[in-house]
């Protein structure tokens, strides 16, 4: 299972805030009282001002953990708010969305487009918009506790049919136009442009025909997801539908690409995601 960065961030923010607040409420008054007592005794002993100031600073000094907590809490809180409610970065780990998204793409995910949710637990506070067919969505699938990214193929109420690698949504055939076979002289896959729900994008298909027919009806509160790399994607055809509470956001931009291994980041793929 992947590390739950949201849980780590919430835990660190809470810990830093708690330590800082505990110090302000309980420990700082004790240090201030100790300074007052010390100054009273110093006056009676007529101690030197320099010695009094030095000891006063030592008595008021925050413990190191409090100093770090006070410094990091505002930064952690800002990152938590931005990442939980506005925009979250995400790296593409697999080739299931090729050619739209490549392995090593760093993307940005809109966290409020589908409604504001609490971090970690995912409880929706209020709605803003709903996923639409053609959107590229980040979510947690029903079979595994980590982020996946796929294209929305069916929303509640839709009937999805997948026949000979062609999509039919509510009986309407989604047009695929042949673009190329790659590599040209020894093809390994075919490239098509698909016009899906008005969203034009490229997909990959392998060379073999598949005359099987699969059909699904999407119930309320669920979504049917599919990768653009149609024959190399584990998606709703395999593990089922995605419940609404598992949605994490809408992918909208590529901001960097770094190929796996010892490669430098590249910015030639930067742009909006369709």
Q: pLDDT digit string (tens) for 211-268? A: 889 999 999 999 999 999 999 999 999 999 999 999 999 999 999 999 988 889 999 9
Model confidence, pTM: 0.82
- β-strand pairing of 199-205 with 213-217: unpaired
Q: Burial of 124 by CB count in 10 Å (0-12 exposed, 13-18 middle, 19+ buried)?
A: middle
Name the strand (E) or helix (H) holding 44: helix 28-45
| 8 Å CB contact between 89 and 107 | yes
Mean pLDDT for 14-25 is: 94
Positions annotated as catalytic residues are 96, 150
DSSP 239: H
DSSP 149: E
Cα gap 243→221, rounded to integer Å? 6
Q: Burial of 49 by CB count in 10 Å (0-12 exposed, 13-18 middle, 19+ buried)?
A: exposed
Report pLDDT digits (tens) over 144-199. Answer: 989 999 999 999 999 999 999 999 999 999 999 999 999 988 999 999 999 998 89
Q: In the 3-class helix/strand/coil scheme, how is 58-80 assigned residue by residue?
A: HHHCCCHHHHHHHHHHHHHHHHH
Q: Burial of 204 by CB count in 10 Å (0-12 exposed, 13-18 middle, 19+ buried)?
A: buried
């Amino acid at each position: 299972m992947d590390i739950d960065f949201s849980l780590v961030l919430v835990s660190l923010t809470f810990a830093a805030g708690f330590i800082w607040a505990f110090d302000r409420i309980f420990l700082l008054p004790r240090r201030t009282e100790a300074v007052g007592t010390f100054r009273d005794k110093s006056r009676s002993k007529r101690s030197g001002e320099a010695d009094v100031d030095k000891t006063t600073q030592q008595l008021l000094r925050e413990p190191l953990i409090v100093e770090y907590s006070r410094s990091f809490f505002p930064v952690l809180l800002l990152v938590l708010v931005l990442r939980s409610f506005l925009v979250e970065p995400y790296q593409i780990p697999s080739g299931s969305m090729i050619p739209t998204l490549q392995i090593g793409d760093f993307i940005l995910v809109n966290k409020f487009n589908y409604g504001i949710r609490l971090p970690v637990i995912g409880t929706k506070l209020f709605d803003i918009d709903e996923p639409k067919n053609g959107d590229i969505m980040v979510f947690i699938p029903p079979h595994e506790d980590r982020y996946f990214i796929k294209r929305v193929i069916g929303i509640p109420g839709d009937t999805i049919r997948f026949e000979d690698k062609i999509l039919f949504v509510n009986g309407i055939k989604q047009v695929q136009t042949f673009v190329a076979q790659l590599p040209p002289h020894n093809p390994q896959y075919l490239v098509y442009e698909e016009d899906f729900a008005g969203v034009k994008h490229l997909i990959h298909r392998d060379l073999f025909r598949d005359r099987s027919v699969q059909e699904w009806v999407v119930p309320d509160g669920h979504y049917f997801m599919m990768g653009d790399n149609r024959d190399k994607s584990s998606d709703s055809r395999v593990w089922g539908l995605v419940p609404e509470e598992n949605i994490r956001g809408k992918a909208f931009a590529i901001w960097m690409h770094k190929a796996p291994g010892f490669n430098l980041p590249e910015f030639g793929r930067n742009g909006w995601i369709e």
